[in-house]
Amino acid sequence: MSNSKYIETKLIHGGIDGDSVTGAVNVPIYQTSTYKQAGLGENTGWEYSRTGNPTRAALEALIADLEGGVAGFAFGSGMAATSTVLSLFKQGDRIIISSNVYGGTFRVLDKVFKNLGVTYSIEDTTDLATLDTKVTPDVKAFFIESPANPLLTVTDLAGVAAVAKKHGILTIVDNTFMTPYLQRPLELGADIVVHSATKYLGGHSDVVAGLAVTNNKEIADRLAFNQNAVGAVLGPFDSFLLIRGIKTLGVRLDRHTENAERIARYLEQHEAVKHVYYPGLPTAQGYEINKKQAKNGGAMISFELYENYDIKKFFKALQLISLAESLGGVESLVCHPATMTHASIPKEIREKVGITDGLIRLSVGIEKVDDIILDLNAGISAAKEA
């Protein structure tokens, strides 16, 4: 356990630091499902690994420490974390989600929880005054993201949390895009933070995992109960991989964001680029709010090529940047929201909210930035020949 107030140090020494029995500097992988009990009613505090596992417990203590919560919970995926948080609600409850919430979050609400009587409505969470008028007695929580996919829309987290507090409802923030290194929603008034740790926290595109943190003891007890009851827990080896990934989160994100800032400026001045969406650009929607609530603009950029550029040729010409779903790994990834992440949304609706066929989402990696720019340039040149 580290007493440092600095997140750079907490990333490496936070939570449970190493192994006190052997002095191992890393938390061991306790690859076990059960624990021997000395006698009836006598155990070591560990009984069964769905309920608790020391490697997972170390990860859970670490994420709680990083987000400034009282307890953390690790799950088999980001969606398992979100679903377990949503399982706190009951029939008749309604949740307000932002219009650009992660597609899987929308899907689980629309296709699973709605059938169980937990409903949702979609609102523009960037408009606090209107949001305030949407809270009817059945609304029990806001579920938001900032910046949100794929147009990097910024929502005022403290503002939304204040509206929630006024109505006595919860604020849940999906902090996947920023991580606690760049933004800590609980400090801004949120009650629960969820993560797809598959992304920046893991950081190497080699593990699927989810995390949840709360700063409310009562919610923590209920989450612990539901985590064990529902059972979508993270295994010991994947817990170890995440702890390992989190140690370098600070240095990785410093490079990710340094690269992203360079690339955003490069794209902004490019003649082929119609619009750049990046919260770190002073011209971006929500720039001032993001600056207030986050360390910087993060490392996700979306940009739109003019209609006379052939998007298919752009993707084909890329050599370094992989065309793939997901984000947040050390390698640069690019995706086409219109046909990949947001393909299920009808074209007219997509175009109306800005997810045009020319929109490209880039997860900026930590390669030498000149190489990334060279590759983007090659893609844009190839697209122009059309």
DSSP class of residue 194 equals: E
Q: Which of 30, 102, 142, 181 binds ligand PLP (CB under 6 A)?
A: 102
- Contacts for 36 with CB less than 8 Å, ≥ 6 apart: none
Catalytically annotated residues: 50, 102, 174, 199
Query: 74: number of CA atoms within 13 Å, CB side?
Result: 33
Strand partners, 210: 75, 196
The answer to whether residue 200 forms part of the interface with ligand PLP (CB under 6 A) is no
52, 68, 104, 354: residue in contact with ligand PLP (rule CB under 6 A):
104
Alpha helices in the chain (DSSP H): 7-13, 54-67, 78-86, 103-108, 128-133, 157-167, 179-182, 217-230, 236-247, 249-268, 287-293, 311-317, 347-353, 369-384
CB of 145 to ligand PLP, least distance (A): 6
Out of 199, 255, 256, 361, the residue judged to bind ligand PLP by CB under 6 A: 199
Q: What DSSP string describes 320-358?
A: SSEE-S---SSS-EEE-TTTTTTTTS-HHHHHHHT--TT
Closest to ligand PLP by CB, 280 or 298: 298
**For ligand PLP, which is the closer residue by CB, 200 or 309?**
200
* Cβ closest to ligand PLP, residue 145 vs residue 375: 145
Question: Within 107-166, which residues bind ligand PLP (CB under 6 A)?
Answer: 145, 149
Residue partners of 292: CB distance under 8 A and separation at least 6 = none
Return the SS3 of 201.
Answer: coil
What DSSP element (H or E) covers 95?
A: strand 94-98
**Interface with ligand PLP: number of residues (CB under 6 A):** 15
What's the min distance (Å) between Cβ of 212 and ligand PLP?
A: 12
Provide the mask over 67-86, with x wherever binding to ligand PLP is found by CB under 6 A and - wherever it is not: ----------xxx-------
Residue list 210-229, contact with ligand PLP (CB under 6 A):
210
Write the DSSP string, 74-91. EESSHHHHHHHHHTT--T
| Cβ proximity to ligand PLP, 198 vs 227, nearer residue | 198
208 is a site residue for ligand PLP (CB under 6 A): yes
Nearer to ligand PLP, 285 or 326 (CB): 326
Query: Residue 55 or 176: which CB sits closer to ligand PLP?
Result: 176
Using a 10 angstrom Cβ sphere, with 0-12 exposed, 13-18 middle and 19 or more buried, the burial of residue 202 is buried
Cβ contact 362:334 at 8 Å: yes
Cβ-proximal residue to ligand PLP, closest one = 78
**Residue 174 binds to ligand PLP (criterion: CB under 6 A):** yes
Q: Which residues bind ligand PLP (CB under 6 A)?
A: 77-79, 102, 104, 145, 149, 174, 176-177, 196, 198-199, 208, 210
